[in-house]
Structure formats: structure tokens, C-alpha cells
Amino acid sequence: MTDFTGKHGLIVGVANKRSISWAIARAVAGRGARLALTYQGERLEENVRELAQELTDPLILPCDVTSDEQVAEVYRAIGREFGGLDFLLHGVAFAPREELEGPFVQTTREGFRIALDVSAYSLVSLTRGAVPLMAARGGGSVLTLTYLGSERVFPNYNVMGVAKAALEAAMRYLASDLGPQNIRVNAISAGPIKTLAASGISGFTSILGIYRDHAPLRRTVDAEEVAAAAAFLLSGDASAVTGDVFYVDGGFHAMGM
């Protein structure tokens, strides 16, 4: 099992105990990592602080990823407390609920802007802030979470699919930029999991059924399986892996029908 003893990481995107980001936080903390966790707003702060009680000496910080100042303050706090950073998990995504209903052609300009800002540009801004702290460690790993809706049309995924496509492109450009500094950037494309974000997608239950019927493994995946793959990609065991979308979906992405 990968050892994270002495490593420090930032986890962005924990909403509740079902969050994929939380499963990843538990996986790396259980292997020895010390973590900083962020929350957005008072509504989620209580959830994050309660969950963080399971961790050893976590750093809990507010962060609205649409605010450059809040992102900068997160990294100032991490610099003071940790002195450097070994890995970053970007697990935040959002689109207004009304944009995930009806035809995609009805997407509003504001809904498009919000989805791309929160779900894709935030990877750029968070990575940019992490670079000096990772450089202080001699390199690091950045990981984001995506979905097959970036490549194929899923009912009601709409503008979020476009945002995930932009996210994956951003990941590749960041990997190219930062490789010379020994900073790797990758994405995990997970199968559908019942999270807070998934609850906003109409017809999500039927998508789960289709995966169970057609994925080579004939089942869906769980957050712990995604977390195990994430621990690998965030660790030195994946030292030659960058610019990659790593599928953890029971093989569904490989199927034509």
C-alpha cells in the first residue's frame, strides 16, 4: 500500500460523507498524509469539520473557488502551516440545477459561465497557487475528477459535459506546462456514484442501471475504488504518469453498445 507518511495534501470538493473527495481524503490520510480541507460557505462548513474529526491534525479552510483572494489565502495558510505541498485534489464542480434540465440548446450564457468557471477554470487557479509550494518539495501531483459525459452525450448532463471537456483539456495543458518542474497533472473519470452533485442530474438512477447492464464488470463502482486509484496517481508510484484520463468505471468507457 502506498505510503504517504510525511506528505501534505490539499483536498478541495468535500461536501459530505458521500463525496468522492472525502473518500480520497480518507484513503491518503489513512496512509499517513496530513491534509488541508476546504469548504464553501457556512452550509458545508459543519459537514467538513465533522468529517475532519476522523483525520489527524487537519487544516480546515474556507475557499470559494470563484474568488482569487480566497484561493490565495488558502495557499498562504498552507505555506505557513505545512511549508510546502505534495499533492492537490481538485474535486469541485457545479452548474445551476436549471441548466441540467431540458435541451442543451437552451443553456443560458450565465449558466455556461458559472459551470465553466467553477468546474474547469478552478483547476487552473488552484494549480497555479499550488506550484510554488510543490516546487519547494521538488515536485508534486495534481488530480482532478471528470466523467465520461465529457466525451459522450448523457441525458441531462448538458453544460456539465462541456465543462468536463474543458476540464480535461485544461488538465493536459497544465501537465505540459508543469512537467519540467516535476509536477504531474491527471484526471480520474469515475463511473456514476450517488453523490450530492449526482443528485442534481435528472434520471441519474437510470444511468446507474445502464452501467450495471453494459459495463464489462456488470456493476457500478464505489467511491473507495476511485479513492484507491487516486492514491496511486497522487503518489510517487505514478511518477511517470501525467496528462492522462484514468478510467475507474468498470470498463464502461470501452463499450460501443
pLDDT tens string 173-194: 999 999 999 999 999 999 998 7
Digit-by-digit pLDDT tens for the chain (257 residues) are 689 999 999 999 999 999 999 999 999 999 999 999 999 988 899 999 999 999 999 999 999 999 999 999 999 999 999 999 999 999 999 999 999 999 999 999 999 999 999 999 999 999 999 999 999 999 999 999 999 999 999 999 999 999 999 999 999 999 999 999 999 999 999 999 877 666 656 667 778 888 899 999 999 999 999 999 999 999 999 999 999 999 999 999 999 87
CB-based contact 92:12 (threshold 8 Å): yes
- Beta partners for 87? 9, 141
Write down the domain spans for the chain: 8-249
Rg (CA), the chain: 17
Catalytic residues: 147, 157
Classify residue 257 as exposed, middle or buried by CB count within 10 Å of its CB (0-12, 13-18, 19+). exposed
10 Å CB burial of residue 209 (0-12, 13-18, 19+) is: exposed
Q: 110-124 in b/e burial notation, b at 16+ Cβ within 10 A? A: ebbebbbebbbbbbb
The domain made up of 8-249 has a fold known as: Rossmann fold (3.40.50)
pLDDT tens for each residue of 107-138: 999 999 999 999 999 999 999 999 999 999 99
Question: Distance between CA 112 and CA 114 in Å, rounded?
Answer: 6
Quick check: 140 and 85 in contact, CB under 8 A? yes
Which amino acid does the sequence have at 244?
D
Task: Report whether 19 contacts 38 (CB < 8 A).
Answer: no
What is the C-alpha to C-alpha distance for residues 202 and 21, in angstroms, rounded to an integer? 22
Which residue type is seen at 56?
T
User: Taking the complete model, does pTM exceed 0.85, yes or no?
Assistant: yes
